[in-house]
Structure 1
Amino acid sequence: MSTSKSSDLPVASTRQPTPVLSLRDVVVYPHMVIPLFVGRERSVLALDEAMNVDKRILLITQKSPEIEEPEAGDLFGCGTLANILQMLRLPDGTTKVLVEGVERVAVEALNDDAGYLAGTWHPIPAAESDEPEALDITARSLIGLFEQYVKLSRKIPVELLTTLAGIADPSRQADTIAAHLGIRIEDKQRILETAGLRERMVRLMALIEGEIDVLKLEKRIRGRVKTQMEKSQREYYLNEQMKAIQKELGDLDESGTDMGDLEKKIDKAGMPREAREKARNELGKLKMMSPMSAEATVVRNYLDWILAVPWKKRSKVRHDIRAAEAILESDHYGLEKVKERILEYLAVQQRVKKLRGPILCLVGPPGVGKTSLGRSIARATGREFIRMSLGGVRDEAEIR
C-alpha cells in the first residue's frame, strides 16, 4: 500500500504531459475526495507512473461508459487535476486509489505513446465576479434549494448540510453540492466545465429545482399507492372480522364457502360484461346481508338463476331439410300446410345462416298438435326442447 499526504506542489509545477485516468459514471470536482477502483491495464500503468513522479493524475470522464479502452475522442474535453492520497493493490488484481481533486483543467492534447494515456492541459481560470452581493444571494438561494432536496431525498445524509455550513468558499460549496446530486453525467460534466461561479450556481439551482419536482411527484405516487394498499388491507380486515362475528353467531356455517363458490361460478360462467358486473354487485350485497333475511333469499335465488343460464353452452344446429321432413312426416299425419311452412322456414334459415325477426307461431285449440310439432322441430334441428306453460298469466311482469 502506498500513502502520501496532499501535495503542496503548485498546479503550474505539475509535470506535463500528465498521466490520465479515464473515469466511468463519475465526475470528480476540485476538493472532492473519492475512492476509485481501477482494473484496466492502461489505467494501472498511469497510476504507477504518477506515483513514481509527483503523485498528480488527470481525471477525465468518458462520454460513454461502455467503451473498454477509450481513446482521446471518447473523453470529455475538461477534467480535474488530482492528488493521489493512497493506493492499494487488492487480492483480485484491481487497484484501489484515493484521490483528491485540485483544479479544473482544459485538456489540450492526449496520447498513449508510453502505453498509457497522458495529456497536456491548462487550468481553467475562475471568472471574476463584480457583483459580490448578487453572488452571496445566489449562494444562499442555492443552499436553501439544496436543503429542500436533501429533505425530500432518501439517498443523501442530513449531516451533509452541516458540512456545507462549515465551508466558507462558495465555489467549493457549489462543487460539493454538484457531487452529491443524482443527475446525469452530462449535467455534472457541464457543471465542471462552467468557470463562472455565479453561472455555475444558477445552473445548479435549475437542476435542483428539476430534481425537487421529480422527488415531489414520486412522493405523491408513493402516498397514493400507500393509501390504496391501506384501503384494501382495511377492507380485507373488516371482511375477516365480519366473517368471524357471523361465525360466532352461527350464521356462517357454510355461507363463507358458498360465497367463494358463487364468486368462482360467476367468473367461470362466461357471462357478457354487463351481466357479470350485475352478478358481482348482487354478490357484494349478499355478503353484507344476514343469511336469514328475506332479501338475502331473493338475491341468492337471483344469483342461482343467472348462474343456471347456459351462457357458453350452445347445441349444434342441424341443417338437414330431408331429415327434418322425414321426422315431421313420421311424427304427424296430415297438417300439410303447417309442415310445408316449417320446412320453408328451416330452408331459409339454412340459406341465410343468421335469421333475425321472424318467429314461428302455432295457433290453435288444445290437442291439435302444437306442442308435438315444436318437439319435432327441436328433434329435427338438434335443439333442446323446452316447454314453458303460461296458462293463467295475465301480466308480462310475471313472465319476467
Structure 2
Amino acid sequence: MREDDSRQETEDSTNKAGHHGNPADLPVPEILPVLPLHGFVFFPGMGFPLNILHPASQKLIDEATLKDRLVAIVSHKEPAEEKQDRVDPEQLYRIGVLGYIHKLVKVKEGGGYHVLISAVKKLELVEFVQKEPYLTARVAVIPMEVEEDKEVEALVLNLRTQFKKLAEMVSLPTELVSTIESLSDPFYISYLVISQLNLTPVEEQEILEIQPGKALMHRTARELNKRVETAEMSQDIQKSIKEDTDQKQRDFFLRQQLNAIRKELGEDEENLDLKELRAKFAQTELPTEAKKTAEKELDRLARISPSSPEYTVSRTYLDWLLDLPWLTSTPDSLDIVKAQQVMDEDHYGLAEIKKRIIEFLAVRKLKQDMHGPILCFVGPPGVGKTSLGQSIARSMGRKFIRISLGGVRDEAEIRGHRRTYIGALPGRIIQSLRKAGANNPLFMLDEIDKLGMDFRGDPSSALLEVLDPEQNFTFADHYMEIPFDLSKVMFITTANLLDNIPGPLRDRMEVIELSGYTQDEKLNIAKRHLLPKQLEAHAISEDDLKMDDQAIRMVIRSYTREAGVRNLERKLAAICRGVAKEIVTGKTTTTLIDATNLATYLGPIQFFPETKARSWGPGLATGLAWTPVGGELLFIEVAKMKGKGNLTMTGKLGDVMKESATAALTYIRSHAKELGVDEAIFAKIDLHIHVPEGAIPKDGPSAGVAMVTALTSLLTGRTVSKDMAMTGEITLRGDVLPVGGIKEKVLAAVRAGIKEIVLPALNEKDVVEIPDNVKEDVRFHLVQDIKEALGLLLAKE
C-alpha cells in the first residue's frame, strides 16, 4: 500500500440523513434492528468506533443509516461463537442499549465497515420479531432515574474522589477526570467509571443489568475500590524493589510485578500474537541467516506496544519470514516414461520441447543438485505455450505458478518494496513462493516480451538476476532483505516475439521456438483435445454429436486462419452450441457433422485460397511473409504506364521493403539484356509496385525475389505460375540470401494450395525441420541466384 492509495469511502451523517440534533431526544420506535456485539459491552453515554464484518450486520447498518440511524445493541453470552454464520437469539442478552449511528466508513479492501456509534439509552429486548436478513426485536426503554438524597450525593462524591485517585496512579487521561467532574447524572457517572476498570464482559453485562440507581452506584464503588487497592499494591511493590536490589534482581522482580498485575486484571502474560509467532518459529526450519533475523525481530516485537504502527509492520514481516519455504521442497518425479506419457496426453506434437524436458529429467536423475534450466517458449498465440508449462509441472510432480508479466512497468513488482514504505510487500517472486509452499516450483513467466519500462524502473533488468542460475541462489527481495535460493526453481518464460526481449535477458534463456501447427496436427489436436473438451463444457455426450475428419479439416481450412488453435476451438464450441439447442428443442437422434451440413452451424465459408481470388497474368508474383501469428502469402503486383522512368510503391511498405524494390529494379536495369528486356523502355515508362492489403504495415527484405520476379514478368510478358511461391533476399549482383520463418511460410503456402516453393539454398537446413507430411505435398526448389530462380518461375513464352 502506498501513501497515495485511496482505500476508504466515507459517508458522513450530514450527507445521507441530515442532522437530527441530540440523539437522546429522538423518539424510539417500537421495533428496532438488533446489532450483536462480541466480547464487548456498551454503556449509555459511551461512543465507540466498531468494525462491522458480518454481511447481515452490514446490511443492518446500511438500512438503519437510511432511516433514523437507531439500532438496538446487545452483547453475546458466548464470545467464542463470534464467527458463526447466523445469530441465535437465545445466545444474546436481553438488556442492551439504544445506539445512534454518527458516522459510517466503508473499507474497500476487505469489504468491512467502520462505524461510530454512541449509546444514548438503556433498553430491553421484549420479543424478537424477525431473524432474516438480520435480527429485529420489539424493545422497551428502561428509565434511568434515581431519587436525589444524601446517600446519592455521598456515592457520587466517593466515585469522583476515588476515580481521580486512580487516574493519578495509573496515568489515565485527564480528560476522563474532567468528564466525571462535569457529569451530574449518577447513571452516566457510574457507567463511565465502570468502562475504565477493565472488567470482564460478563461482569460488565451484570452491572449494565442493575436497575436501581443506588444499587448500581454501590456496585461501581466496590469495583473502583478494588482497582485502587490493586494500584496501591503495585506502587508498594515498586517502592520495595527499588530499595536494595541490583539491576538483575530489579529486572526479575519487575517482571514478577508485571505478571502479578496482569493476573490480577485477568490478562495473559504475553501478547497472543507473540505467543503464536514464537510457537511458529520453534516449529519452522530456517537457514542460519533467516533464523538470526527472526530471533532479532521477535525480541524487537516484544518491546513494541501493540497499538504502535511499528507493531503491525514488524508482525507482517515475521509472518512473511516464517511462511516462506526456505528449506521445503517437493520431490521430483524422475520417471522418464511416465513424464513422456503425461506430456503426450496433454499435447500433440511438439517433439522438440518434449525431448528437451526428457533430457533435463534424465540429467537430473544422474545429478540431483543440478540447477533448473531457464527455457523460453517463443511462438504465435494459441500454440500451447502456457498449457505446456502446466503439463511439464504435472509430469515432474512440481507445483505450478504462473506470473503474467504483460504490462508490468514497476521494478518493485519483481523485487518488492522497502519496508520503510507504508503497506510494503515482497515482489511477485517471493509472494508466489509463499503461495506454492515449496522452494522448487515451476515458474511460468508469461508474456515476457510485453514488459514495460518507466520512471518506476526497468522490470526486465530486475529479472536478470532471477533468470541467471549463477546468481539467483542469493536472490534478495527488497522487502525480505535476506537472500533466498532460487536455483532449485525451474523457470519457463513465454513470448510471441524475441525482438522485444532485451539482449542480456535473452542471453540467459534457452530459446525453443514453437511454430504454427500443420493441418494434420490441428486435426489431431481437435479430435484428441479440443472437441472432447467442448463436448464436456456443453454437457453433450459423444452419442449426441459426431464429427468426421473431413468436416474438421474444412473448419481448419475454410473457417479459421491462424498459427494456433484458439479460433478452431471457438468454431467447435459454436457447433456444440448449435447441437445443444437442437437437443433442448427435442432432437433425440445423433447429429453427424460433415462437409455438407457444416455451414448450417458455422455459416458461409469465410476463407478461400488466396490464389483463386487473383486475376493471373504478367506482373503478379506470390511471395511469402512471416508475421507474429504465423505465415502469410504476399502478392506483389506491378503495373507500367507512360512516363519518365519513375518508380511508385504503395501498400504501406516499410523502408527495408522499399529498398528491396529499388534493388530489384536496379538489378533488372543492369541485366536487362540478359533478361530479354528492352533497355530503352525504362526512359519511356513509369512503374508502380503495389502490395495488396494496404492497411497492414509490411516490411523486411524477404520479398526481394518476388519483387524481381514480378518486375521481370511484366517487362517480358511472361506469366509466373500461380502454383509457385517464393521468398528470399536479393543483392545487386543477383545473389539470393537466406531469410527466417521458413516453416511458418511453408505452412501458409501449403494452406493456400501452393505446389512448388522457391527458397534460398542456404535455407536448406530449415527445410529439414518441416514435418514430413507437409513436405510430401509440396516441392522445394533451392536456388543460389536470381537467374536460377527466374528460370524456374517464369514460363517459357
> How does the TM-score come out when normalised to structure 1?
0.53
Q: 1:6 to 1:60 in 2, by over 3 A?
A: farther
Q: Aligned partners of 1:160 and 1:119: how far apart in 2?
A: 34
Partner of 2:143: 125
Q: Aligned partners of 1:203 and 1:10: how far apart in 2?
A: 26
Q: Which of 164, 187, 198 is the matching residue for 2:214?
A: 198
Q: Contact conserved, 1:19 with 1:49, CA < 8 A, in 2? A: no
3-state SS in 2 of match to 1:66: helix
Partner of 2:100: 83
Q: CA deviation at 1:117?
A: 1.5
Q: Aligned partners of 1:142 and 1:21: how far apart in 2?
A: 31
- Deviations along 1:339-366, whole A, 9 cap, x unmatched? xxxxxxxxxxxxxxxxxxxxxxxxxxxx
Q: Aligned partners of 2:96 and 2:12: how far apart in 1?
A: 23
- Deviations along 1:252-308, whole A, 9 cap, x unmatched? xxxxxxxxxxxxxxxxxxxxxxxxxxxxxxxxxxxxxxxxxxxxxxxxxxxxxxxxx
Partner of 1:62: 76
Corresponding position: 1:35 with 2:57: no
Q: Aligned partners of 1:47 and 1:143: how far apart in 2?
A: 36
Q: Which of 155, 174, 177 is the matching residue for 2:193?
A: 177
Q: How does 1:305-384 map to 2 (within 5 A)?
A: none
Q: Aligned partners of 2:101 and 2:188: how far apart in 1?
A: 19
Report the AA paired with residue 3 of structure 1. Answer: D
Greater per-residue strand proportion:
2
- Deviations along 1:38-65, whole A, 9 cap, x unmatched? 1011211111121122110111111222
- Deviations along 1:351-391, whole A, 9 cap, x unmatched? xxxxxxxxxxxxxxxxxxxxxxxxxxxxxxxxxxxxxxxxx
Aligned length: 232
After superposing on structure 2, the runs of 4+ consecutive aligned residues of structure 1 that deviate more than 6 Å are 9-12
Q: 1:143 to 1:85 in 2, by over 3 A?
A: same
Corresponding position: 1:44 with 2:62: no
- Deviations along 1:57-76, whole A, 9 cap, x unmatched? 11111122211233112111
Report the AA paired with residue 36 of structure 1. Answer: L
Report the AA paired with residue 31 of structure 1. Answer: G
Q: CA deviation at 1:120?
A: 1.4
Report the AA paired with residue 71 of structure 2. Answer: I
Q: How does 1:187-226 map to 2 (within 5 A)?
A: 187-226=203-242
Q: Contact conserved, 1:6 with 1:85, CA < 8 A, in 2? A: no
Q: Aligned partners of 1:199 and 1:86: how far apart in 2?
A: 34
Larger radius of gyration: 1
Corresponding position: 1:101 with 2:115: no
Q: CA deviation at 1:147?
A: 1.4
Partner of 1:18: 32
Corresponding position: 1:142 with 2:159: yes
Q: CA deviation at 1:23?
A: 1.0
Q: Contact conserved, 1:6 with 1:83, CA < 8 A, in 2? A: no
Q: Contact conserved, 2:24 with 2:120, CA < 8 A, in 1? A: no
3-state SS in 1 of match to 2:117: strand
Greater per-residue helix proportion:
1
Q: Aligned partners of 1:230 and 1:208: how far apart in 2?
A: 35
Report the AA paired with residue 103 of structure 1. Answer: K
Q: Which of 168, 171, 188 is the matching residue for 1:151?
A: 168
Report the AA paired with residue 94 of structure 1. Answer: G
Q: Aligned partners of 1:90 and 1:227: how far apart in 2?
A: 53
Q: Contact conserved, 1:127 with 1:195, CA < 8 A, in 2? A: no
Q: Aligned partners of 2:54 and 2:144: how far apart in 1?
A: 33
- Aligned-pair RMSD on alpha carbons? 2.5
Q: Which of 100, 110, 118 is the matching residue for 2:128?
A: 110
Q: Contact conserved, 1:31 with 1:172, CA < 8 A, in 2? A: yes
Corresponding position: 1:2 with 2:19: no
Report the AA paired with residue 58 of structure 1. Answer: A
Q: Aligned partners of 1:148 and 1:120: how far apart in 2?
A: 42
Structure 2 portions without partners, runs of 5+: 1-9, 14-18, 251-797
Q: CA deviation at 1:232?
A: 5.0
3-state SS in 1 of match to 2:126: strand
Q: 1:62 to 1:233 in 2, by over 3 A?
A: closer
Q: CA deviation at 1:2?
A: 2.5
3-state SS in 2 of match to 1:181: coil
Report the AA paired with residue 173 of structure 1. Answer: I
- Deviations along 1:111-143, whole A, 9 cap, x unmatched? 5433112121101123542x5222111100111
3-state SS in 1 of match to 2:223: helix
Q: CA deviation at 1:148?
A: 1.9
Q: 1:72 to 1:229 in 2, by over 3 A?
A: farther
3-state SS in 2 of match to 1:26: coil
Report the AA paired with residue 209 of structure 2. Answer: E
- Deviations along 1:171-221, whole A, 9 cap, x unmatched? 222222222221121221122212222221111000111112222233333
Q: 1:56 to 1:225 in 2, by over 3 A?
A: same
Q: Contact conserved, 2:100 with 2:119, CA < 8 A, in 1? A: yes
Q: 1:7 to 1:150 in 2, by over 3 A?
A: same
Q: Contact conserved, 2:100 with 2:120, CA < 8 A, in 1? A: yes
Partner of 1:337: none
Q: Aligned partners of 2:180 and 2:23: how far apart in 1?
A: 27
Q: CA deviation at 1:84?
A: 0.5
Report the AA paired with residue 73 of structure 2. Answer: L
Q: Aligned partners of 2:242 and 2:94: how far apart in 1?
A: 46
Q: Contact conserved, 2:144 with 2:187, CA < 8 A, in 1? A: no
Q: 1:125 to 1:229 in 2, by over 3 A?
A: same
Partner of 1:53: 67
Partner of 1:262: none
> How does the TM-score come out when normalised to structure 2?
0.28
Structure 1 portions without partners, runs of 5+: 235-400
Q: 1:232 to 1:181 in 2, by over 3 A?
A: closer
Report the AA paired with residue 43 of structure 2. Answer: Y
Q: 1:133 to 1:93 in 2, by over 3 A?
A: same
Q: Aligned partners of 1:196 and 1:121: how far apart in 2?
A: 20
3-state SS in 1 of match to 2:36: strand
Q: Contact conserved, 2:31 with 2:137, CA < 8 A, in 1? A: yes
Q: How does 1:265-276 map to 2 (within 5 A)?
A: none
More divergent stretch after superposition (62-71 vs 38-47): 62-71
Q: Contact conserved, 2:128 with 2:135, CA < 8 A, in 1? A: yes
Q: Aligned partners of 1:228 and 1:42: how far apart in 2?
A: 60
3-state SS in 1 of match to 2:119: strand
Q: 1:168 to 1:36 in 2, by over 3 A?
A: same
Q: 1:6 to 1:225 in 2, by over 3 A?
A: farther
Report the AA paired with residue 158 of structure 2. Answer: S
More divergent stretch after superposition (6-15 vs 117-126): 6-15
Q: CA deviation at 1:81?
A: 0.4
Q: CA deviation at 1:229?
A: 4.8
- Deviations along 1:305-327, whole A, 9 cap, x unmatched? xxxxxxxxxxxxxxxxxxxxxxx
Q: Aligned partners of 1:89 and 1:75: how far apart in 2?
A: 26
3-state SS in 2 of match to 1:13: coil
Q: CA deviation at 1:157?
A: 1.2
Q: 1:61 to 1:221 in 2, by over 3 A?
A: same
Q: CA deviation at 1:8?
A: 5.0
Partner of 2:91: 74
